[in-house]
Amino acid sequence: MAGTSQQERARDETISSVVAPRAYRRLGFRPDLEGMRAVAVLLVLVYHAGVPFLPGGYVGVDVFFVLSGFLITNHLLHEISSTGRLRVGAFYARRARRLLPASLAVILATVAIVAVWAPPRLADAILVDARAAIGFVPNFLFAIRNTDYLAEDATSPLLHYWSLGVEEQFYLAWPLLLLVLWRVLRGRSGLVIAAVLALTVVSLAVSVILTSISEPWAYFSPWSRAWELGAGALVAAARLHERAWHAAVAGAATWAGVAMILLAALIFDETTAFPGSAALLPVLGTVLVIAAAPSSTSWGAGVVLDRAPMRFLGRISYVLYLVHWPVLILPIVLSPTGSPLPLAQSLLLAGAAIPVAWILHRTIEQPILRSPRVSAAGARRILVAAAIGVLAVLALTQAAAAAIAAKPLATDRVVETPVLPEGDPTPETLPVPGFTDVVPVNLEPALADAASDLPRIYADGCHLGLDRSEPASCVYGDVDAGRTIVLFGDSHAAQWFPALEQFATREGYRLVSHTKSSCPPFAVEILNNGVVDTGCAQWRDAVVSELEAAPPELVVLSGFAHYDEYGSPEVTEQAWAAGIEAVVPRLSRGSEVLVVDDTPRFPRTPALCLSANITSAAACAADRDSALDASWIASQRAAVEAAGGSSLSVAPWLCDESRCGAIIGNLLVYRDQHHIATRIATLLEPVLASALLPDTL
């Protein structure tokens, strides 16, 4: 700015711009927006508590995004247009004062609870989440983790910090981008509105496209969520040209906006392709309320939004959002099995989160926001203090990680490796010594290595991920043999690769591996977060056609027995049986077809439970009736036999009459909730061999 020295510009932390001919007026207090924050946080709260009639309550986060985009952009445009400059440092300092104290306090409390009481292996994973949240990038971590089918299913008490990551990334970039737009467009507000609209539309297009390709990245990434904040920014940018609405129209519009938000919460669920175009419903609903409320009459939505209870919840909404998820999820994380809580208990915990949030609001958030001493400290000192606070919490998290690492993950007991007796294996020849009641020091794989205990086809690139649909056709075993055995299915087929590789090498077979994550070998429509996985069908059809054209001697199929794509279990079983009948007859015309029943499923990864129960491994066993879906298995077996194939159950070697144990001998049976480890698969190779070559064994 002319006449301002370099030292003064550095002191004021300003970036100069042109002065607009008209200034955006400062936004006064709007109690209706405080009420909208209450709507947003209540939707999220009841959704996370498990209230069944609001399966789409997660749209409360979208309401928060629109409100944040509106409020922040209005503030920025007021400063830029009225002063000709933007004090970027002061903006970041205000955001730090507003967001960091409560955020870091909740992270620190969660880390402390997890470090003391959570199973060590689970605590390790949660501390990774904590470090990502402290570094403002948890959304990227969760996007990466959720695109990996093998990712640990245990819920993180810091999962909700993904939305803070998106907002913080928006706050980092948006002030500078908005200033550039204002400067390049020379303060012409109409062009600024057009530019904000263009950016919003581009981000919406990214969201729609990305949702159809990779829902986790669409859900968590800032590029596919920016349009929601941009929608609020667009309303703020348009305020310079806004005209008063007709009072009756404005009142009706506010109710319509609230109705759109509630409708989304009622009709959306976990199968909805989200965000994508579906997010337009709650986003446009929020835009309607923001734009119309100032002109609405006393019978508009403000009659509810302006009420004291709503304004109270709106005031504490940020802190309530921070604390509600740890309050709801930590009891599950700390429980031995990780089983969900009954609805009544979840509702009690959700209610308890409100006074907890109020206490945090009064003791941490408000004192720092209203402190004259903090206000007088200046932007630089506030930012330095914020950086020190972040580093201190990070250091304490690292100390907690060191304390967890010092906890033992095994006893000093040595246990023999189990072996199957010679001869034809039967259920009576259960591997000796059966289920082990402690975690032995010679456990294979060790608890710390369980998640990475994968068949070699993963490292070789032969097990396909969600993004690949062309068959890989990798060959193992006796590659020059004249006989071929094919492994075909999803990751629950891939878990049997070590056994089949050993069988093929010994018996003189070429082993061809065709496996793909989340893609069963049977002709069923698979949804990935509400989006039909066309790549799965493409890959399956290509493999079946290849096997029809050149039939191998043996085909081994298996699939995850818990695809809940069709609503009720009965309808899903019927669809699964129809999918079997569409594939197995085509394969059995020229090949012997064996379908291996699915392996047990645990409520929590056994390695996590065992890390907290090294002297009482029995506590980590799963009830047989819940681990194995008897109805599904019976339906699958009937369909396989009718289609010309045969079935094999390995449950007798993994479960007794009442439970499925986690350790047999010195072998850890499961690498996660429902995949067996490589060593136990190899141990059970004779069981598969007896089914594949019954006349020769």
For 614-639, write each residue's pLDDT tens digit: 999 999 999 999 999 888 899 999 99
pLDDT-based confidence at residue 8 (cuts at 50, 70, 90): very low
pLDDT-based confidence at residue 312 (cuts at 50, 70, 90): very high
The structure tokens listed for 229 are: 């904040």
Picking from 73, 110, 103, the residue whose alpha carbon sits closest to that of residue 165 is 103
Please report, as a single letter, which amino acid is at residue 465: G
Picking from 170, 179, 9, 171, the residue whose alpha carbon sits closest to that of residue 80 is 179
Least confident interval from 242-246, 306-310, 448-452? 242-246
Q: For 163-189, write each residue's pLDDT tens digit.
A: 999 999 999 999 999 999 988 988 888
Q: Which residue has the higher pLDDT, 238 or 65?
A: 65
pLDDT for residue 526: 83
Q: Which residue has the higher pLDDT, 10 or 670?
A: 670
In angstroms, the CA 127 to CA 397 distance is 7
pLDDT-based confidence at residue 425 (cuts at 50, 70, 90): low
Q: Is the pLDDT of residue 11 over 60?
A: no
Least confident interval from 273-282, 370-379, 385-394? 370-379
pLDDT for residue 248: 87
Q: For 257-279, write each residue's pLDDT tens digit.
A: 999 999 999 999 888 889 999 99
Widest Cα–Cα separation across the chain = 97
In angstroms, the CA 361 to CA 421 distance is 65
Q: Is the pLDDT of residue 416 over 50?
A: yes
Q: For 191-213, write each residue's pLDDT tens digit.
A: 999 999 999 999 999 999 998 88
Q: Where are the beta strands (DSSP E) in 288-346?
A: none
Least confident interval from 247-251, 308-312, 585-589? 247-251
pLDDT for residue 16: 41
Q: Quickly count: other Cβ atoms within 10 Å of residue 173's Cβ.
A: 11
In angstroms, the CA 597 to CA 493 distance is 10
In angstroms, the CA 559 to CA 276 distance is 30
Q: Is the pLDDT of residue 154 over 70?
A: no
- Cβ atoms 317, 353 nearer than 8 A: no
Mean local confidence (pLDDT), 390-411: 96
Q: Is the pLDDT of residue 393 over 80?
A: yes
pLDDT-based confidence at residue 527 (cuts at 50, 70, 90): confident
Mean local confidence (pLDDT), 490-505: 96
- Cβ atoms 119, 620 nearer than 8 A: no
Concatenated DSSP letters of 207-254: HHHHHHH-HHHHHH-HHHHHHHHHHHHHHHHGGGG--PPPHHHHHHHH
Q: For 662-697, write each residue's pLDDT tens digit.
A: 999 999 999 999 999 999 999 999 989 989 886 533
pLDDT for residue 464: 94
Q: For 428-459, write each residue's pLDDT tens digit.
A: 555 545 799 999 999 999 999 999 999 999 99
Q: Which residue has the higher pLDDT, 423 or 247?
A: 247
pLDDT for residue 418: 86
* Average of per-residue pLDDT values in the chain: 89
What would the 3-class secondary structure string for 391-455 be?
HHHHHHHHHHHHHHHCCCCCCCCCCCCCCCCCCCCCCCCCCCCCECCCCCCCCECCHHHHHHCCC
φ, ψ for residue 105, nearest 5 deg:
-65, -45
Mean local confidence (pLDDT), 586-610: 94
Q: Is the pLDDT of residue 13 over 50?
A: no
Give the Å distances, CA to CA, from 462 to 3, 145, 465, 498: 67, 20, 9, 13
What is the torsional sign of CA 618, 619, 624, 628? negative
In angstroms, the CA 24 to CA 5 distance is 27
Q: For 94-116, write each residue's pLDDT tens digit.
A: 999 999 999 999 999 999 999 99
Q: Is the pLDDT of residue 10 over 60?
A: no
CB under 8 A, 24+ apart: contacts of 13-16: 13/87, 13/88, 13/89, 13/90, 13/379, 13/380, 14/85, 14/86, 14/87, 14/88, 15/85, 15/86, 15/88, 15/176, 15/179, 16/84, 16/85
Q: For 540-572, write each residue's pLDDT tens digit.
A: 999 999 999 999 999 999 999 877 656 567 767
Q: Which domains does the chain have, with CATH numbers?
A: 75-171+369-407 (no CATH), 185-307 (no CATH), 447-692 (3.40.50.1110)
